[in-house]
Every structure is written in structure tokens, then in C-alpha cells.
């Protein structure tokens, strides 16, 4: 018998689990249309890889994982892709998100698939790849891609594998009934997990003592496998990852650390079944066990529901009474959220659809002032001070909220449950967390804007300086040119007569000496005479051949003769 530890706080809300376990896991007719949101998990949304109008088979890849922390999506049934657009999804905001809609053809025909029966002799890398390609996320709540969780890296060896079969939230029996009926397959899944993680030392299945049938079902399958079933007293919230780790091992997971940092991996028991189906049967994650419960539905039981089935389809097949129903909740009464519409689809993390009557879960009572009774602090499983957080959240005092470890709050709702003033404490914390995150993002943005502004200013300044430098250079050049003319002109004075005299002097200075001039003229005469001779020869030739160029040549001869005479007369002038 393994020792267990007791977490602080916790509450014991009415369990309400018995209603939905009277029948076996049922199945529903395939809905006409299935809507598969591209983001059903933590991380980047998948990228659609099909086109509208395309026919797909059951299990065919319809959206690829976008990055490492992401998962692919598969067609839950065969049919035609009828739309890829924004649709309402299961999110507390009620906002739209990209979805793929499949119009089912009713044939439900599988794509060709094959599993590996001999997983013991398959490399962990290969098994991890299968898990990743099957689109498996944690099916307990947050929806963290399982392949990422199962690959903590070499520097963090795993010595403890924890299987979370706690299912501590009231009403939900999806895991309970799955264990009762599929214990063998679940244990196979655990063995595969063990193989992927390099056969950790301890394999613990944590389960609350309110599921004796499930424990009895698991018992024969785990004998002589090294897997231990650890049963502990029922208390909400024991199923939180950190809480379960403490209950089973006595180790407290530090804030901001992952179980892998303590050498542990914690996997939901529903996920182990999905992993078994993926590895041994080769089937991707396209369906899950979901509890349909609450007094507003006629039949309360568990169903094996195709991912993408509209909630309205589930309700319609269970004699849903809209009149009696106060609201439709996805998840349990503690941590679930009211659905904005019944058209939203079931996703990989949907463990329960709760349709309570007004008597069962009445409308929220109006909140009364906090009377500082301290019951919330006693109920808090993380040992926070909920009433202090409440005051600081009201005052929007972000620094104090962080100092009081708001981000360690797991939003379990135990404090709101015990609050005699009906204060929706968790909503305050969620809102404060959102505000702090937003403020943080804005801080990053504003720092970035400041940087860009500084750069902009520096750039403008630099451009201005460059312009200024150019202007200065031009001014300098103008100044120099001015001063140069000033020094040249200073000898001749500044009056008009002086300027003319200076100009004449410059012209005279430019003229060469008479000897040079004579020599130059003589050279010119000699050259012209030669040219004249050449031109006359050409003219004679032209006359002889009676060419049409006669006139051109005679003009050229005349020209040259004139130049010769001019030069000769100049020489004569010079001689005088």
C-alpha cells in the first residue's frame, strides 16, 4: 500500500456521480454536420489542409500541426468538407474561431490505418511520433499536447509516471466509466507510456476512493506489471496536477516549474486510452467519452462522442428539457463554464456536458460584502489568501496581487464554493490575471514603441545633421569662390575703368609674343598650302572622272585658298 499525503484545504461538494454511471458507455447516431475547431488545445492552432468540397474519410488528416506545441486534427467521420470558417466554439468568451465543418455521408468509412502490436520493440521516438500524429492532447482539462509532455528531453530523466484517474469534480464520470469498461486497453496505454518514457521507476495510478468499481476493474490488469494503484480519500480538488503529485509523492511542485523538472510526468487516464488506440489500433483521436448529465436531460449517461459533435445533438438525443434547464455547462459545476450556445461542438477536452435544473444549480445569488470570515483561506488547496486577493483585485493593485501569488491560483472554485457571501471570487482572479497579462503585454508594446520613437528621433536628427553639413559645405564653397574673385580683382581697383583696364591687361597678357605669332602663322601657311595642293589634286581627279562631287571639291579648294591668303596678309601685317 503506497503512502499518500494530504493537501491543504479542499471542499466536499455533493458528488452527483451516481446518476450517470447506471448505464454503460453509449453511442449516438452520427450527426449530419460536425464542426472541428482548429484550436482545441494549448499552443498554436492547427492549419487546415483540406478544401471546401473535398471528400474525406474517417480518420483522415484535415488540419496539420502548426509548430511543435500544436496538434493535428482528423476527420471524425467520412463526409464532405462543407465549410472552413469562423464558428462559435466552446470558450467562455463566446467568440468565434476558425473551424472545419464536415457534412457526414453516413457511411462512416475509415481511411486505411494500421497499428503496431509490438510496441515494446518500437523505439520511443517512433511511438512519440505516432502520438503526435494522432493529435492527442491531455483530455483532462487544459489540453496540453501529449507528445510535448512525453518528450521532456534528456536532461530531465523521468522516474515517476503518474496516471490521473482522480476525476474529482462533481457530476463527471467519463474517466470512471471508461476505466470500468476499458481497463485492459487503458493499462496497455500505460505500458506504451512507460515504454516512451524509458520505463520509469514508479508508475502510479492516482484514484479517489469514490470509484470502487473502477479500482476493481483495474486491479486484475495491473497485477505483476509494476503499476500501482494508489487510492486516496475523495476531496475536491485532488485531481489538479500539482495536488495529485503532492498526494502521491509528498513533493510540492514549485511555482513556475513543470512536473518534468521533478522527474515526473502526469497524464490523464482518458489520454492513455487514446494513446493505446493510436499506437496499437492506428486510430487518431476522433472521439472521446463525455458525460451528459444534469436533471434537465432525461437520460444521464456517458457517451463515446465524436469530436466535433454539436452539443445540441447530444442534448437532443437525451430528452433535453429547455424549460427546466438553468444553463448548459461544459465541464463540471466547479470549473466548467456556461456555453454561449448549444451549437458549439464537443472538443478533445470536453469531459462533461452538464444541463442542470434550476433546483440543482440555481442562478448565482447576488454577491454580498466580504465579512472576512476566512473560510476561503481554509478551503484554498494552494494555501493562498483568497480574501486578500479579492481586495487587491477590486483595487486593481497588480503588484500586491502578484506578491500574493495570484498566478499560483488554479481557479478550482473551492473559495467561491464556501463563500457565505456568494462572492464570485474565481471570476475576480481570472479577470485580474487577464488584466495583469494585458498590462504586461502593453508594457512590452510601449517599450517597443519607445525604442522605435527614439530611433525615429535619432534618424530625423541624423538626416538634419547631414543636410546641415551639406549646407555648410556649400556655403563654404561659395565663400571661397567669392574671396577668390575678390583677391584677383583687388589689383585693378573697383571702378568700371579699372575693371576694363584689368580686362585689357588680361587680354594682352594672353597674347603671345610677335615671334611666336609669326612662327605660328608660318606653320599655318605651310599646312594650308599642303591642304590646298591636296584639294586641287582631288578636284582634278573629280574633273577627270566627271564625278558629281566636282562642285564640292571646287568649293573646298576655294575655301582653302582664301584661308591661305588671310594668313599671308596677317603675316605681312606682322612684318610691318
Partner 1 sequence: MIELISQHPIFAALIAMVGLSILFGGLLGYAAEKFKVEGDPIVEQIDELLPQTQCGQCGFPGCRPYAQSIADGDAINKCPPGGQATINALANLLGVPAPELDQEHGQESEVKTVAYIREDECIGCTKCIQACPVDAILGAAKLMHTVIADECTGCDLCVEPCPVDCIDMLPVEETIADWKWSTPAKPGQMIATDRRGELGSNTVQEDAA
Q: Which residues bind partner 1 (CB under 8 A)?
A: 39, 89, 91-93, 95, 97, 365-370, 393-394, 421-424, 427-428, 430-435, 437-438, 441-442, 445-450, 452-453, 455-457, 459
Find the shortest distance in angstroms from Cβ 432 to partner 1: 8
Element (H, E) at 233: none
Find the shortest distance in angstroms from Cβ 338 to partner 1: 13
Q: CA nearest 305: which of 269, 352, 356, 268?
A: 352
Query: Prior bond to 135 cis, omega within 30?
Result: no
Cβ proximity to partner 1: between 201 and 440 the closer is 440
Cell of 547: 564625278
Cβ proximity to partner 1: between 84 and 262 the closer is 84
**In this structure, are residues 325 and 356 in contact, taking their beta carbons and an 8 Å threshold?**
yes
**In this structure, are residues 289 and 304 in contact, taking their beta carbons and an 8 Å threshold?**
yes
Find the shortest distance in angstroms from Cβ 453 to partner 1: 5
Q: How far apart are the C-alpha atoms of 362 and 14, rounded to whole Å?
A: 15
Neighbours of 337 (CB within 10 A): 14
Q: How far apart are the C-alpha atoms of 15 and 173, rounded to whole Å?
A: 10
Cβ proximity to partner 1: between 454 and 558 the closer is 454
Cβ proximity to partner 1: between 93 and 562 the closer is 93
Sign of CA dihedral 414, 418, 424, 428: negative
Sort strands 337-338 and 352-354 into parallel, antiparallel or unpaired. unpaired
Find the shortest distance in angstroms from Cβ 501 to partner 1: 54
Q: Give the position of cell 525615429.
A: 456
Collapsed DSSP state (helix, strand, coil) of residue 319: coil
Find the shortest distance in angstroms from Cβ 19 to partner 1: 30
**Cα angle value 298/304/309 (rounded, 5°):** 80
Cβ proximity to partner 1: between 22 and 465 the closer is 465
Find the shortest distance in angstroms from Cβ 446 to partner 1: 4
Cβ proximity to partner 1: between 252 and 466 the closer is 466
Q: How far apart are the C-alpha atoms of 203 and 224, rounded to whole Å?
A: 12
Cβ proximity to partner 1: between 394 and 479 the closer is 394
Find the shortest distance in angstroms from Cβ 45 to partner 1: 9
Collapsed DSSP state (helix, strand, coil) of residue 144: coil
338, β-bridge pairs: 329
Cβ proximity to partner 1: between 256 and 369 the closer is 369
Cβ proximity to partner 1: between 467 and 474 the closer is 467
φ, ψ of residue 284 in degrees (nearest 5): -70, 170
Find the shortest distance in angstroms from Cβ 464 to partner 1: 13
Find the shortest distance in angstroms from Cβ 458 to partner 1: 11
Find the shortest distance in angstroms from Cβ 382 to partner 1: 19
Cβ proximity to partner 1: between 186 and 376 the closer is 376
Find the shortest distance in angstroms from Cβ 356 to partner 1: 20
Half-sphere exposure of 383 (CA within 13 A, CB side): 7
Cell of 304: 463515446
Number of residues written out for the chain: 576
Cβ proximity to partner 1: between 55 and 445 the closer is 445
Find the shortest distance in angstroms from Cβ 134 to partner 1: 25
Neighbours of 210 (CB within 10 A): 17
Sign of CA dihedral 528, 530, 533, 534: negative
Residue 88 DSSP code: E
Q: How far apart are the C-alpha atoms of 186 and 527, rounded to whole Å?
A: 117
Q: How far apart are the C-alpha atoms of 480 and 477, rounded to whole Å?
A: 5
Collapsed DSSP state (helix, strand, coil) of residue 328: coil
Cβ proximity to partner 1: between 252 and 365 the closer is 365
Q: How far apart are the C-alpha atoms of 263 and 255, rounded to whole Å?
A: 16
Amino acid at each position: 500500500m503506497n503512502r499518500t499525503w494530504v493537501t491543504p484545504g479542499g471542499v466536499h461538494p455533493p458528488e452527483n456521480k451516481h446518476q450517470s454511471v447506471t448505464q454503460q458507455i453509449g453511442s449516438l447516431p452520427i450527426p449530419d454536420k460536425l464542426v472541428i475547431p482548429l484550436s482545441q488545445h494549448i499552443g498554436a492552432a492547427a492549419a487546415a489542409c483540406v478544401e471546401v468540397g473535398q471528400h474525406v474519410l474517417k480518420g483522415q488528416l484535415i488540419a496539420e500541426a502548426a509548430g511543435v506545441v500544436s496538434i493535428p486534427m482528423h476527420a471524425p467521420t467520412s463526409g464532405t468538407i462543407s465549410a472552413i470558417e469562423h464558428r462559435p466554439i466552446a470558450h467562455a468568451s463566446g467568440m468565434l474561431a476558425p473551424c472545419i465543418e464536415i457534412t457526414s455521408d453516413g457511411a462512416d468509412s475509415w481511411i486505411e490505418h494500421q497499428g503496431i502490436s509490438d510496441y515494446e520493440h518500437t523505439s520511443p521516438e517512433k511511438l512519440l511520433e505516432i502520438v503526435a500524429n494522432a493529435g492527442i492532447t491531455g483530455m483532462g482539462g487544459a489540453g496540453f499536447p501529449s507528445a510535448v509532455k512525453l518528450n521532456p528531453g534528456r536532461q530531465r530523466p523521468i522516474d515517476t509516471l503518474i496516471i490521473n484517474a482522480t476525476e474529482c469534480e462533481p457530476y463527471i464520470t467519463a474517466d470512471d466509466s471508461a476505466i470500468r469498461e476499458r481497463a485492459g486497453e487503458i493499462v496497455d496505454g500505460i505500458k506504451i507510456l512507460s515504454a516512451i518514457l524509458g520505463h520509469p521507476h514508479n508508475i502510479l495510478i492516482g484514484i479517489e476512493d469514490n470509484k470502487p468499481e473502477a479500482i476493481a476493474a483495474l486491479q486484475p490488469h495491473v497485477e505483476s506489471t509494476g503499476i500501482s494503484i494508489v487510492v486516496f480519500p475523495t476531496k475536491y480538488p485532488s485531481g489538479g496536477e500539482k495536488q495529485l503529485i503532492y498526494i502521491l509523492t509528498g513533493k510540492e511542485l514549485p511555482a513556475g516549474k513543470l512536473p518534468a523538472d521533478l522527474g515526473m510526468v502526469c497524464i490523464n487516464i482518458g489520454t492513455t486510452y487514446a494513446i493505446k488506440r493510436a499506437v496499437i489500433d492506428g486510430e487518431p483521436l476522433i472521439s472521446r467519452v463525455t458525460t451528459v448529465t444534469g436533471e434537465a436531460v432525461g437520460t444521464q449517461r456517458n457517451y463515446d462522442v465524436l469530436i466535433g459533435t454539436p452539443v445540441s445533438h447530444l442534448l437532443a438525443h437525451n430528452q433535453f428539457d429547455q424549460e427546466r434547464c438553468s444553463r448548459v455547462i461544459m465541464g463540471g459545476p466547479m470549473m466548467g463554464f456556461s456555453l454561449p450556445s448549444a451549437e458549439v461542438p464537443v472538443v478533445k477536452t470536453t469531459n462533461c456536458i452538464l444541463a442542470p435544473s434550476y433546483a440543482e444549480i440555481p442562478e448565482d445569488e447576488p454577491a454580498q460584502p466580504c465579512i472576512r470570515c476566512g473560510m476561503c483561506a481554509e478551503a484554498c488547496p494552494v494555501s493562498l489568501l483568497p480574501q486578500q486577493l479579492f481586495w487587491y483585485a477590486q483595487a486593481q493593485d497588480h503588484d500586491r496581487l502578484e506578491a500574493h501569488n495570484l498566478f499560483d491560483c488554479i481557479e478550482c472554485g473551492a473559495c467561491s464554493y464556501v463563500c457565505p457571501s456568494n462572492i464570485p471570487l474565481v471570476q475576480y482572479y481570472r479577470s485580474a490575471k487577464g488584466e495583469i497579462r494585458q498590462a504586461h503585454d502593453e508594457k512590452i508594446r510601449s517599450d517597443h514603441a519607445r525604442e522605435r520613437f527614439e530611433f525615429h528621433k535619432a534618424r530625423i536628427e541624423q538626416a538634419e545633421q547631414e543636410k546641415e553639413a551639406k549646407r555648410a559645405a556649400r556655403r563654404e564653397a561659395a565663400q571661397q569662390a567669392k574671396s577668390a574673385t575678390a583677391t584677383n580683382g583687388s589689383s585693378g581697383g573697383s571702378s568700371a575703368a579699372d575693371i576694363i583696364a584689368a580686362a585689357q591687361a588680361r587680354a594682352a597678357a594672353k597674347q603671345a609674343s610677335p615671334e611666336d605669332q609669326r612662327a605660328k602663322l608660318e606653320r599655318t601657311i605651310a599646312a594650308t598650302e599642303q591642304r590646298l595642293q591636296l584639294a586641287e589634286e582631288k578636284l582634278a581627279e573629280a574633273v577627270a572622272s566627271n564625278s558629281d562631287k566636282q562642285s564640292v571639291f571646287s568649293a573646298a579648294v576655294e575655301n582653302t585658298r582664301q584661308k591661305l591668303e588671310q594668313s599671308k596678309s596677317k603675316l605681312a601685317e606682322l612684318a610691318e
